[in-house]
Structure 1
Amino acid sequence: MPKYFCGVDGGGTSCRARIVDENGQLLGEAKTGSANILLGVELAMENIQTAIALAAEQAGIADLSTLSVGMALAAAEQKSAWLAFMALPHPYQHVTLNTDGYGACMGAFSGENGAIVIAGTGSVGIYIENGQQHVLGGREFPISDQGGGAVMGLRLIQQTLLAHDGLRPTSALSQHVLAHFDHNLDAIVSWSKTAKPRDYGQFCPTIFEMAMQRDELAMELLQGSADDVERLILGLNRKGASQVALMGSIGERIVPWLTPATQALLVQPKADAMTGAILMAYGDHNLYPFPR
Structure 2
Amino acid sequence: MIGHILVVDGGGTKTAASLYDVRGDELASVMAGPSSLTQELEGGCATIAAVIEQLLLQTRTEAPDCSIVVGVAGAGNPVQRQALAAGLNAYPHLLITTDAQLALYGANLGRPVNVITLGTGSVAMQLTATGDTRQLGGWGFPIADHGGGAQLGFSAVQALIDAYDAGDIAQSPCLLALQDKIGTTRCDILAWVRQAKAKDYAALSHIVAQHSERCTLAHELMLKAAQAVDALIDKMGRDNILPIVLLGGMAQVIYPYLSQQHRQRIIPTQGSALSGGVLLAKKELERGPHGRRQ
Q: Same fold (TM over 0.5)?
A: yes
Determine the structure 1 residue equivalent to 2:146. 146
1: CA distance, partners of 2:139 / 2:6: 26
Q: Deviations over 1:223-279 (max 9, x none)?
A: 111111111122211142421101101012221111221100101121011111222
Deviates more, 1:48-57 or 1:223-232: 48-57
Aligned residues: 286
Query: Please, what TM-score do these two structures have when normalized by structure 2?
Result: 0.90
- Measured in 2, the distance between the counterparts of 1:239 and 1:92 equals 40
Q: Deviations over 1:175-210 (max 9, x none)?
A: 222232331222322322332111001112221211
Distance 2:125 2:51 in 1: 26
Change in Cα spacing, 1:182 to 1:190, as seen in structure 2 (3 Å) is closer
CA contact (8 A) 1:99 1:287 kept: no
Alpha-carbon spacing, 1:2–1:283, altered in 2? closer, same or farther (3 Å): closer
Q: Which residue of 2 aligns with 1:55?
A: 55
Residue 28 of structure 1 and its aligned partner are, at CA, apart by 0.7
AA aligned to 1:279 is L
Consecutive unaligned residues in structure 1, runs of 5 or more:
none
Gaps of 5+ in 2: 285-289
Which residue identity does 1:65 align to in structure 2? P
Deviation at 1:57, TM superposition (A): 4.8
Please say which of residues 166-175 and 137-146 is displaced more in the overlay.
Answer: 166-175
Once the two structures are aligned, what percentage of the paired residues are identical?
Answer: 27
Tell me whether 1:66 sits opposite 2:65 in the alignment: yes
Counterpart in the other structure of 1:122: 121
Aligned residue for 2:195, secondary structure, equals coil
User: Does 1:80 find its partner at 2:79?
Assistant: yes
Looking at structure 1, the residues matched to 243 and 272 of structure 2 have their Cα atoms a distance apart, in angstroms, of 17
Name the structure 1 match of 2:20: 20
Deviation at 1:167, TM superposition (A): 8.2
Tell me the CA shift for residue 122 of structure 1.
Answer: 0.7
Q: Do residues 135 (structure 1) and 131 (structure 2) align? A: no
Q: CA RMSD in A?
A: 2.2
Distance 1:81 1:93 in 2: 19
Q: Deviations over 1:131-169 (max 9, x none)?
A: 322211110000111111000000000001111111877
Q: Which residue of 2 aligns with 1:195?
A: 196
Matched, 1:104 2:103: yes
Aligned equivalents of 2:271, 2:28: Cα separation in 1: 17
CA displacement, residues 44-91 of structure 1 (integer Å, 9 cap, x when unaligned): 122123323343455x22423322111111011112211222222343
Structure 1 stretches of 4+ with a deviation exceeding 6 A read 285-288
Shift of 1:172: 1.2
Q: Note closer, same or farther for the CA distance 1:191–1:76 as it changes in structure 2 (3 Å cut).
A: same
SS where residue 76 of structure 2 aligns?
coil
Taking a change above 3 Å as real, the CA distance of residues 126 and 168 of structure 1, as seen in their structure-2 partners, is farther
**Shift in CA distance, 37/57, structure 1 to aligned 2, threshold 3 Å:** same
Provide the C-alpha distance between the structure 2 equivalents of 1:120 and 1:51, rounded to a whole number of angstroms: 21
> Is structure 2 residue 278 aligned with structure 1 residue 278?
yes
Partner AA of 2:114 in structure 1: A
Q: Is the 8 A contact 1:30 1:52 kept in 2?
A: no
Q: Is contact 2:39–2:198 with CA below 8 Å preserved after alignment?
A: no
Q: Do 2:93 and 2:293's aligned partners in 1 also have CA atoms closer than 8 Å?
A: no
2:240 aligned with 1:236: no
